[in-house]
Amino acid sequence: MRTYEKTHEFIKFSLDLRNAPAALWITLGECQSKCGDISSITLPPDIAKNIQNLYQAKGCLATLAIEGNTLTEPEVLQHLDNKLEIPQSRAYLVQELDNICAGHRYILENMGEIRAGKLALNPDLVKKLNELILAGLSLEEGVVPGRVRQHEKQVIHYRPAPASDCEFLLERLCDWINRKTFTAPPGMAVVYGLIKAVVTHLYLAWIHPFADGNGRTARLLELLVLQSAGVPLPAGQLLTVHYHLTRSGYFRQLDQSSRAGGEVEPFLLYAAQGFRDGLATLLERIHQDQAHTLWQAHVLQTFQTQTGPAAERQRRLILALSAADQPVPLAELPDLSPFLAKVYAARSMKTLARDVQTLIQMGLAEKGEAGIRARREILSAFRPVEPAPLLG
Residue 297 has a pLDDT of: 93
Report helix, strand or coil for 367.
Answer: strand
Residue finishing a domain among 260, 287, 314: 287
pLDDT level of residue 390 (50, 70, 90 thresholds): low
Residue 384 has a pLDDT of: 67
Q: How many CB atoms lie within 10 A of CB 250?
A: 20
Residue finishing a domain among 227, 252, 287: 287
Domain identity same for 244 and 340: no
Mean pLDDT of the chain: 93
Domain identity same for 273 and 310: no
pLDDT level of residue 120 (50, 70, 90 thresholds): confident
**In terms of residue numbers, what domain contains 233?**
4-287
Q: What is the pLDDT of residues 49-81, one digit of tens each?
A: 999 999 999 999 999 999 999 999 999 999 988
- 183 — alpha (psi -120 to 50), left (phi > 0) or beta? beta
pLDDT level of residue 89 (50, 70, 90 thresholds): very high
Q: Which of 350, 299, 351 is nearest to 320 (CA)?
A: 299
Q: What is the pLDDT of residues 307-341, one digit of tens each?
A: 899 999 999 999 999 999 999 999 999 999 999 99
Question: Is 388 a domain residue?
Answer: no
Question: Is 386 a domain residue?
Answer: no
> For residue 155, what are the CA distances in angstroms to 208, 212, 342, 372?
9, 11, 62, 59
Domain identity same for 37 and 172: yes
Q: What is the pLDDT of residues 160-194, one digit of tens each?
A: 999 999 999 999 999 999 998 899 999 999 999 99
Q: Which of 169, 165, 199, 255 is nearest to 14 (CA)?
A: 199
Q: Cα separation of 309 and 351, whole Å?
A: 12
Among 114-123, 147-156, 279-288, which is the least confidently predicted range?
A: 114-123
Question: Is 106 a domain residue?
Answer: yes
pLDDT level of residue 158 (50, 70, 90 thresholds): confident
* Predicted confidence (pLDDT) at residue 392 exceeds the cutoff of 80: no
Question: Is 165 a domain residue?
Answer: yes
Q: What is the pLDDT of residues 257-300, one digit of tens each?
A: 998 888 999 999 999 999 999 999 999 999 999 999 999 999 99
Domain identity same for 245 and 126: yes
- What is the tally of structural domains in the chain? 2
Q: Cα separation of 36 and 364, whole Å?
A: 33
Q: Cα separation of 37 and 31, whole Å?
A: 10
Average pLDDT over residues 220-235: 95
pLDDT level of residue 112 (50, 70, 90 thresholds): confident
Domain identity same for 233 and 332: no
Average pLDDT over residues 355-373: 95
Residues 6+ apart with CB under 8 A from 161: 4, 7, 8, 11, 169, 206, 207, 208, 209
Domain identity same for 283 and 185: yes
Residue 133 has a pLDDT of: 97
Report how far apart the first and last C-alpha atoms of the chain are (Å, whole number): 80
What percentage of the chain reaches a pLDDT higher than 90? 85
SS3 assignment for 294-308: HHHHHHHHHCCCCCC
> For residue 177, what are the CA distances in angstroms to 198, 292, 323, 331?
11, 42, 48, 64
pLDDT level of residue 153 (50, 70, 90 thresholds): confident
Cα maximum dimension of the chain: 90
Average pLDDT over residues 216-231: 95
Domain identity same for 276 and 312: no
Q: What is the pLDDT of residues 6-56, one digit of tens each?
A: 999 999 999 999 999 999 999 999 999 999 999 999 999 999 999 999 999
The CATH number linked to 35 is 1.10.3290.10
> For residue 119, what are the CA distances in angstroms to 13, 200, 224?
22, 17, 12
- pTM attached to this predicted model: 0.88
The CATH number linked to 339 is 1.10.10.10
